[in-house]
Structure 1
Amino acid sequence: MTHIISYPTPVVPLTAGELLPGVVFVGLLSLMTLYFLGAEQGATSLIQGNTVHEFVHDGRHLLGFPCH
Structure 2
Amino acid sequence: MPKASAPTTAAIPAVSPRLVAAAATVTGVMLLMAYLVAFDQGALSQSGMYLHELMHDGRHLLGVPCH
Q: TM-score range by the shorter chain?
A: 0.5 to 0.7
Name the CA shift for 1:40/1:34 in 2 (closer, same or farther; >3 Å): same
CA deviation vs aligned residue, 1:4-40 (integer Å, no higher than 9, x gap): xxxxxxxxxx833121110011000000000011011
Report how far residue 66 of structure 1 moved.
1.4
Identity %: 42
The match for 1:35 is: 35
Query: What's the RMSD between the two structures over aligned residues?
Result: 2.0
- Structure 2 gap ranges (5+): 1-13
Report how far residue 60 of structure 1 moved.
0.7
- Structure 1 gap ranges (5+): 1-13
Q: Normalization by structure 2: what TM-score? A: 0.60
Query: Which amino acid in 2 is paired with 1:30?
Result: M
Report how far residue 51 of structure 1 moved.
4.4
The match for 1:55 is: 54
Q: Normalization by structure 1: what TM-score? A: 0.60
Give the total of aligned pairs: 53
Whether the 8 Å contact between 1:38 and 1:65 is mirrored in structure 2 is yes
Larger radius of gyration: 2
